[in-house]
Each structure stands twice: as C-alpha cells, then as structure tokens.
Chain A
Amino acid sequence: MADYAPLKLHVPEPAVRPGDIPDFSNVKIPHAGSVERPPVDADPVSIRGLAFSIIRVLNREGEAVGPWAGLLGDGELLEGLRNMMTLRAFDARMVMAQRQGKTSFYVQHMGEEAVSCAFSKTLLPGDMNFPTYRQAGLLIAAGYPLTDMMCQIYSNERDPLKGRQLPIMYSSRKSGFFSISGNLATQYIQAVGWAMASAIKNDTRIAAGWIGDGSTAESDFHAALVFASTYKAPVVLNIVNNQWAISTFQGIARGGSGTFAARGLGFSIPALRVDGNDYLAVYAVAKWAVERAHRNLGPTLIEYVTYRVGAHSTADDPAAYRPKTESDAWPLGDPVIRLKNHLIKKGAWSEARHAQAEAEILDTVLAAQKEAESHGTLHAGGQPSVRDMFEGVYAVMPPHLRRQRQQAGY
C-alpha cells in the first residue's frame, strides 16, 4: 500500500444554490478602459493576459472609455440599441406564444442580446456564422424578416424549413446563418472547415463559430481549436459564457482552467475575454478578431462574459437550481439599459425617445406575429404538407422513400 492518505474526488460546486444570497464577488471586473488594445498581428504569447481579464468600454457613468472605445457612431449605436430591443420584444412574444400552445419550444436571449447583435455588425456580406440556438440577434441585426423567423417557430405553411426542424433552429445562407443542428458543439469545427475552404479557394470570406460555456466541454470544441490552430483558419471562435448550462454552473465545464478564453492558449490562438453585456466592447473585440481573420492572421478565440437571465428554454425552471435573485446581482448589468444610458449621456437619446422606440418596436413585432399567424401556428391553421416530410432527405428521392410516401397517401 502506498504511504499516502486516501484519495478524494473533487466535484466543483457553485458558490450559491437556491435559498442562498447570490454572490459574484469571485468575478473580478476590471475598470472599463483599463485593458490594452494590441495590434491585430500581435504575438499570441505577448497578449496571454487578455484571456484572464475582461475588456470593457462602458463605465458606470455610461461613458465609453479606453483604447477599445470610439469605433461606433451614434447612428450605429442607435441601430444596435434598436436591434437588441427588437430581439427582447421578439423573445417576449414568442415565450408567450409557446405558453399559449402556438408552438412547442422556445429559447430566449434575455441578458445576452449584445453578443449576437453587436457581433453581426462586424461581418461582411458572405461571411458565415455557425450559431447556436441563442444567437437570433445575428439574424435580426442582419435584417432577416421577423415574420420568417416566426413562421419557422410556428412550423406553419410558410416555414422556410417546411416544419422539419424544432423551433428556433433557423437556417439562412443569405443572412450568413448556418443551419442550427441542435447537437451541441458539432458546428464549431464546421465553422473552421468553412473557413479553411475559403482559404483553400483563395476567397476573402471568413467564418464565425459559436458555442456556449457548457458545450466547450464537447470534444468537437477541442477539434475546432486544433484545426484552427494548425491551419491558421480565418475563423472567429466565440464562446458565450452565460454562467449556466441548463442547471450546471460554468465551473463544471471550465474545470481548473481559470477562464474559458484560456483554453485557446495551449493552441497559441489569441484569446480575449470581453464584457458580453457591453455592446461597444463586444463590437470592438469582435471587430479586432474579424480583422485578423480577413487579414489572414488566423483564428481568434473570444469569451463573452454574460449572464443567462431567463430560463434555459421554455422547458426549464431555473428556480430549482439557482437563487431567484441571482440575475439582479449579476455585476455586468443589462446590455440594453447600459447602451441606452450611454446614448442618453451622449445626448443622442432620451427616456422619452426610448419609451417611444419601445412602443414602435412592439408594434413591429406584433405586426410580424399577426402576419406569421395568418399562415398558421403549430396546431392550427396552415400547415406544411406531409409531402414535405419526405422531400429533402436526398437530392433525388430514392425508390424506397417514394414507396413510403405513397403508402402514407401523399
């Protein structure tokens, strides 16, 4: 027998559970403007510190400060605000529609709106996102029609995906939005493959992969990093750390690595952490990474530090595993309110105009919803045809499937 004390298994635990007082004192938050902004061709080794800090632009007073500030004009910021507000209103209506039985399932973005809305604005036409189910802001900010999104959610007769896919698993090549699979992490490596293809063909387009904190544990995440590192693929690898993976706190996926961004370091991929609730910071850091990809400098890993305010999905109730008031204690605030306050501070916005915009946006979303519902909802009105179920499995329907379709009466 070895002359050691018995071994003990370490199982990480979140700081608090339901009934406890929420506590984020372990989340170290640097002052806005305090983190350096290296040139895009910086040696990854020299910027390792960026994987352990948090890049922030908006300070408590609502001012944009530091080396990452100053990239966006008032018009662009107002558009960003409008996109985030649209996403929020869209979510609220669709969560309600699910409760009313008009669809089976929905996933909302509450608290994370800045990430996808700001990122979208850094891409060029032709660039391709490989999103998860929590990046609908990419579609909204790219101008994809709300009605089409809702028709997909309702699986109705105008569903662009013919009723085949679970709600919110959109697909739009035109909008740079790759078809969502639903199997976690599978698409992270596909983003790298897409980017490699672009490089093989001497194209100028780049790709962006998306993954949640929990899903970084999947093997496909690591596959993506090694391929991206080896081939210096023109890809931006995004990790949205919203602190939770259903009921599992981020410490289970992060393990001993300190941060998720730090995962990039062993692959010598420049890795940055950014305040995911700060529209300006998200934009600035994403822009930096996108620039690297376009200039053939290779991949970048970005960790967006944010918080999932809502339930994981309409099938989840977070009260069972985290304190109800945890989101109020989240130290990085709310992305919509922060951008709104910044614009007010700059004199480009006001409470009155905000309230008016809120009303206008709600009208727009309601009009889209009315239009979508005129084409049916999951169990009522216009439906996709049963023929559609048999189509599209193959480019050309093989005889056995044709026989089955006939047996089914279509």
Chain B
Amino acid sequence: MVEAIRDAMDVMMERDENVVVFGEDVGYFGGVFRCTQGLQAKFGKTRCFDTPINESGIVGAAVGMAAYGLRPCVEIQFADYVYPGYDQIVSEAARLRYRSNADFTCPLVVRMPTGGGISGGQTHSQSPEALFTHVSGLKTVVPSNPYDAKGLLIAAIEDPDPVIFMEPKRLYNGPFDGYPGKPAVPWSKHELGEVPDGYYSVPLGKAAIRREGAALTVLAYGTMVYVALAAAAETGVDAEIIDLRTLLPLDLETIEASVRKTGRCAIVHEATLTSGFGAELCALVQETCFYHLEAPIKRVAGWDTPYPHAQEWDYFPGPARAGRAFLETVEA
C-alpha cells in the first residue's frame, strides 16, 4: 500500500505542477513509512521537502498555498500528532470556502497513518477520524487496500476541498485480520494489491461491498474490513461486508440498500466507542431503515481508554469480539 500511495502522488505531481508534497522527514528520506520515497529526487526540493516539526505550520502553510492556487498534499507523521494542526484544519481549512464565499478555497490533502496493531502505544496507534467527520467542510477518507489507496488519493488531490486521508498503518505491508501471531500476507498475494500504472481514480463517497451476504450488514473501514471478513468466516454468519472507503461524504445509498435487504446491522471500528463514527452510522441506519430492522444495531469498537501498549490485543477489536457481535445480532 506504501507503493500505491507513493504512486498516486507521483502520478499527480507529474500531471499537475501545482501539486506539492511536504511534511516531517518526507523530503530526502522519503517519510518514516517511505510513502514519499524518491519524490524529492524526481521532482526537486521545491516540490517535495522536509518541514520543521510543527504540525500547525504544516497545515497552516498548506492552507496558504492552497489558497494561492497550489494543491498541497501534506503528511502528518502519525495521526496521533495531528492535534497541533487541528486548529488550522478546523478553523481555517474547513471553513475558508464558506466564510469567503469561495473568494478563497482550500484544495489540500492531509495524509496521516492511523490505527493500531503495531505495538505503538498511545502515541502511534490512535484512530481520530471522528474528530474530522464532525467538522463541516472536511472530507474524510480511509482506504483499506492498495488499489483504493491510489485511486482515492488521486481523487482527494483533485478534489476542490480539504480532504483528510487516513492510512491504516497496519495495512501498509499487507491485509491484517486481527491475528498478530499469524504469518503476514503481503499485498502481492491479494487481488486488491494489484495497482495499475498511471492515472486512475476511485471516487470519494462510494462504498464497496467486500462480501455479499443476506443475514447481516456490516459497516467497516480500514483494517476492520479484514477483521470483519475473518469474523464472518469464523462464525459462518452470512454477512454483507461494506467497506465505506469514504466516511464523509458517506455512501448512504449502498448502506441503506443493504440493511433493507438484511434487516440487521453491525458496525466495526478501531476508534473508541463513545462518540465514534459508529454512533453517526448507527443514527443514520436507524433514521433510514428503522422499519426494516429486526434487531438492535451493534457497535464493535476500541474500548473507551487511551490506546494501551501491553494490552494491545485486548484493546483491539479483533475477530473474536466482532464475531460475537455478529452472532448476537443475527440471533436477536
């Protein structure tokens, strides 16, 4: 997935000389996860460069550049470090179009590795997507595989508005179903690991059905798509697993059609439960599908604690927890 993300930036930097890429360690070194490797050598250090360690500065400078007419695609080293840049995202990037009546706009992408599963403790594991979906004016994207990552990132860079692009870091090197002890599977062995050369895009706001099923609709994104697939396989629940891909704008149509069909819904995310994006999904499903529901909607999520180090696999909502919720929903 790292290569796919790099390729998306490469393609867009080639096509549009207004695309610039910067962030901490992204220039010469190519990023701590190597997502920008080679871009400085190819496009020069005024198109791809290292910044001072200041997330407010990274986003703030990007807002200024975007308003000027560039298309910055910036990296925050870990989603856990975005908070110093949060004011620039919320008060500035998100509202520039609205408050200036489109006199100024802000076509920028803020990329950040998100999620846990790497023994990273509380400062390398968080999933703060709900802090962005709550903000009017932002779009929030969470890809789950290399094909989508490239296509969605290209769409994000082309989008006229600010996009938060969250890369589940546990998926960088292969799909992950929540079993840390199992041998890692590389993307090269996965159908969605195949990434076409050159330009293509995956539209923002369109979900993908990863598994068709009749008994239960599962809403998931990022790493949890694979956890949900594993849970369905283990429990034998005939789940329809929807990979949301974009949280905002949300593909409510696909969700609604599925829940109307199955009459049951479970939601899985890594982020903490309370006020998580699952709460929004739950409300929307209830509003649109109440008369089709045959059971209460279940949420499976990270516990409401900071992300722990030693107890990671008790914290992480893996296939066992997801499977239990699936069974409870279909048996209710």
Decide if A384 touches B54 in the complex (CB within 8 Å): no
The interface bits of chain A over 394-406 (1 if a CB of B lies within 8 angstroms of the residue's CB, else 0) are 0000001100110
Q: What chain A residues lie within 8 Å of B28 (beta carbons)?
A: 17, 247, 321
Residue of A nearest to B304 (CB): A401
Interface stretch of the complex, out of A141-149, A212-220, A271-279, A290-298: A212-220
**With A166-B120, A182-B122, A219-B84 in contact, do A384 and B310 touch (Cβ < 8 Å)?**
yes
Q: Which of A155, A219, A248, A384 contacts B24 (CB 8 A)?
A: A248
Interface stretch of the complex, out of B43-51, B168-176, B224-232, B289-297: B43-51
Decide if B83 touches A183 in the complex (CB within 8 Å): yes
The interface bits of chain B over 141-157 (1 if a CB of A lies within 8 angstroms of the residue's CB, else 0) are 00000000000000000
Q: Which of A8, A13, A166, A401 contacts B123 (CB 8 A)?
A: A166
The interface bits of chain A over 173-210 (1 if a CB of B lies within 8 angstroms of the residue's CB, else 0) are 00000000111110000000000000000000000000
Q: What chain B residues lie within 8 Å of A214 (beta carbons)?
A: 52-53
Decide if A220 touches B308 in the complex (CB within 8 Å): no
**With A11-B45, A11-B46, A183-B123 in contact, do A164 and B309 touch (Cβ < 8 Å)?**
yes
Q: What chain B residues lie within 8 Å of A105 (beta carbons)?
A: 119-121
A169 to B123, CA, bound (A): 11
Residue of A nearest to B180 (CB): A379
Decide if A245 touches B304 in the complex (CB within 8 Å): no
Q: What chain B residues lie within 8 Å of A315 (beta carbons)?
A: 32
**With A11-B46, A247-B29, A393-B306 in contact, do A166 and B314 touch (Cβ < 8 Å)?**
no
Q: What chain B residues lie within 8 Å of A384 (beta carbons)?
A: 310-311
Decide if B303 touches A217 in the complex (CB within 8 Å): no
B253 to chain A, nearest CB (A): 33
Decide if A389 touches B308 in the complex (CB within 8 Å): yes
A321 to B57, CA, bound (A): 24
A14 to chain B, nearest CB (A): 8
Q: Is A383 an interface residue (CB 8 A)?
A: yes
B36 to chain A, nearest CB (A): 11
**With A159-B310, A248-B50 in contact, do A166 and B57 touch (Cβ < 8 Å)?**
no
Decide if B121 touches A252 in the complex (CB within 8 Å): no
B88 to chain A, nearest CB (A): 11
Q: What chain A residues lie within 8 Å of B57 (beta carbons)?
A: 217, 219
Q: What chain A residues lie within 8 Å of B81 (beta carbons)?
A: 183-184
Q: Is A65 an interface residue (CB 8 A)?
A: no
Q: What chain B residues lie within 8 Å of A378 (beta carbons)?
A: 119, 310
Q: Is B80 an interface residue (CB 8 A)?
A: yes
Q: Is A408 an interface residue (CB 8 A)?
A: yes
Decide if B311 touches A163 in the complex (CB within 8 Å): yes
Q: What chain A residues lie within 8 Å of B308 (beta carbons)?
A: 163-164, 389
A62 to B83, CA, bound (A): 47
Q: What chain B residues lie within 8 Å of A393 (beta carbons)?
A: 304-306
Interface extent on A, as a size class?
35 or more
Residue of A nearest to B120 (CB): A166
Q: Which of A13, A219, A386 contacts B314 (CB 8 A)?
A: A386
**By CB atoms of chain A within 10 A, which of B53, B81, B84, B310 has the most?**
B310
Decide if B54 touches A219 in the complex (CB within 8 Å): yes
Q: Which of B32, B123, B304 contacts A404 (CB 8 A)?
A: B304
Q: Is B252 an interface residue (CB 8 A)?
A: no
A246 to B55, CA, bound (A): 16
A184 to B53, CA, bound (A): 9
A181 to chain B, nearest CB (A): 7
A167 to B119, CA, bound (A): 10
Residue of A nearest to B314 (CB): A386
A408 to chain B, nearest CB (A): 7
B54 to chain A, nearest CB (A): 4
The interface bits of chain B over 1-45 (1 if a CB of A lies within 8 angstroms of the residue's CB, else 0) are 000000000000000000000001101110010000000000001
A217 to B53, CA, bound (A): 5
Q: Which of B56, B121, B314, B315 contacts A182 (CB 8 A)?
A: B121
**With A104-B309, A183-B83 in contact, do A166 and B54 touch (Cβ < 8 Å)?**
no
Q: What chain A residues lie within 8 Å of B52 (beta carbons)?
A: 214, 217, 252-253, 255
A405 to B27, CA, bound (A): 44
Q: Which of B49, B54, B304, B311 contacts A218 (CB 8 A)?
A: B54
Q: Is A53 an interface residue (CB 8 A)?
A: no
A401 to B315, CA, bound (A): 13
Q: Is B274 an interface residue (CB 8 A)?
A: yes
A159 to chain B, nearest CB (A): 7
A215 to B52, CA, bound (A): 8
Q: Is A320 an interface residue (CB 8 A)?
A: yes
Decide if B25 touches A248 in the complex (CB within 8 Å): yes
Decide if B121 touches A404 in the complex (CB within 8 Å): no
Interface residues of B in 91-137 (CB under 8 A from A): 119-124
Residue of A nearest to B48 (CB): A11
Decide if A247 touches B25 in the complex (CB within 8 Å): yes
A383 to B51, CA, bound (A): 40
Residue of B nearest to A385 (CB): B311
Q: What chain B residues lie within 8 Å of A2 (beta carbons)?
A: none
Residue of A nearest to B34 (CB): A320
Q: What chain B residues lie within 8 Å of A401 (beta carbons)?
A: 303-305
A173 to B14, CA, bound (A): 54
B208 to chain A, nearest CB (A): 30
A119 to B323, CA, bound (A): 54
**With A166-B309, A181-B123, A215-B53 in contact, do A389 and B303 touch (Cβ < 8 Å)?**
yes
A245 to B306, CA, bound (A): 27
Q: Is A390 an interface residue (CB 8 A)?
A: yes
Interface residues of A in 361-405 (CB under 8 A from B): 378, 383-384, 386, 388-390, 393, 400-401, 404-405
Q: What chain A residues lie within 8 Å of B83 (beta carbons)?
A: 183
A99 to chain B, nearest CB (A): 14
Q: Is A165 an interface residue (CB 8 A)?
A: yes
Q: What chain B residues lie within 8 Å of A388 (beta carbons)?
A: 311
Q: What chain B residues lie within 8 Å of A390 (beta carbons)?
A: 303, 305
When A and B form their complex, which 9 residue pairs have the shortest distance between CB atoms, in order from nearest? A163-B310, A166-B121, A217-B52, A182-B123, A247-B29, A104-B119, A155-B310, A389-B311, A217-B54
Residues of chain A whose beta carbon lies under 8 Å from any beta carbon of chain B: 8-9, 11, 13, 17, 104-105, 155-156, 159, 162-167, 169, 181-185, 214-215, 217-220, 245-248, 252-253, 255, 315-316, 320-321, 378, 383-384, 386, 388-390, 393, 400-401, 404-405, 408
Report 18 cross-chain contacts, Cβ distance below 8 Å, ordered by A residue.
Answer: A8-B46, A9-B46, A156-B310, A182-B121, A183-B80, A185-B53, A217-B53, A218-B84, A219-B56, A247-B28, A247-B29, A248-B25, A248-B29, A248-B53, A315-B32, A378-B119, A401-B305, A404-B303
